[in-house]
A and B are shown apart, each in its own frame.
Chain A
C-alpha cells in the first residue's frame, strides 16, 4: 500500500518569505502525486500534480513542486509568501488498479502567513 507523510502539521512564515511544505511518499510503483489546497469554507483545490516527465512541476498561484525519486519526496515551494496563501495544504498519491483510483492523503499542513 502506498502512503504519504507530511512533516509539520503547522508552518508559519513571514509575508514575502519562502514557503516550503514537505511531503514524502512510499510507493512500490511510479507514483502520481498531487498537492491540494483548502481555503476556509471551500473544497480542496488542485494546486499541481506530477505524472511523468519533467520533475519540476509548476502549479497555480506561483507554487511549484519537485519530484525527487531518490529521496521519495515531493515538496511544495513558493518563493514569496502572500497573506492569501494562508490555508491548509494536502499532499496525496493516487492508488488503485485499472478502472478505479483513489487518493491517499497526508495529514495536511496548515500554513500561517505573518504580516
Chain B
C-alpha cells in the first residue's frame, strides 16, 4: 500500500510569487490534514478535510493560504503571494477515520518551502 505522497519535495521561490503544494493521501482515507513546521519550532496544525469538505481550518495563518480537495482525493495548498515567514516544512497526513481522538494519522515526507 502506497503511503502519503507530497510534491514537490523542495520548493524555492521569491517573495511575492505563488506556490502550490500537492498531497496524495493513502487510498480510501477520507481524512486529510495539513500541518506546518517553521524551523526550530513545533509542527502546527493548519486544516482538516473530511472528503472534500473543510472540517476545521482554524490553523490557517491568513487568507494568502488556500487549500482545496476537489473530489475528495488529493489536496492542494496554495500560497499566494508568498512571504518570507511562510518558509518551513509543510506536512500532509491522512487517516481512515477522523472522528476519534486516538486515530493514527499517516504522514507524508513533507514539502520544504523556502521563500527568498
As a 0/1 sequence over residues 76 to 116 of chain B, the CB contacts with chain A under 8 angstroms (1 = contact) are: 00000000000000010100001111111111111000000
**Number of chain B residues whose Cβ lies closer than 8 Å to a Cβ of chain A:** 30
* A44–B109 CA distance with the chains assembled, in angstroms: 7
Chain A residues whose CB sits within 8 angstroms of the CB of B16 once the complex forms? none
A48 → B minimal CB distance (Å)? 10
- In the bound complex, do residue B3 and residue A103 qualify as a contact, i.e. CB atoms below 8 Å apart? no
Chain B residues whose CB sits within 8 angstroms of the CB of A4 once the complex forms? 42
Residue among A45, A98, A99 with the highest chain B CB neighbour number at 10 A: A99
Partner of A41, one of B41, B93, B109: B109
Segment of A16-24, A60-68, A76-84, A104-112 in the binding face: A104-112
- In the bound complex, do residue B33 and residue A105 qualify as a contact, i.e. CB atoms below 8 Å apart? no
Residue positions of A touching B, CB distance < 8 A: 4, 32, 34, 36, 41-46, 49, 51, 90, 94-96, 98-108
Q: Nearest 9 pairs between A and B by C-beta?
A: A43-B107, A44-B107, A94-B101, A105-B43, A51-B102, A102-B45, A32-B101, A100-B55, A107-B42
11 A-B pairs besides A4-B42, A101-B98 with CB distance below 8 A are A36-B107, A42-B109, A43-B91, A44-B93, A51-B102, A94-B102, A100-B56, A104-B45, A105-B35, A105-B43, A107-B42
Residue positions of B touching A, CB distance < 8 A: 3-4, 33, 35, 40-45, 48, 50, 55-56, 59, 91, 93, 98-110
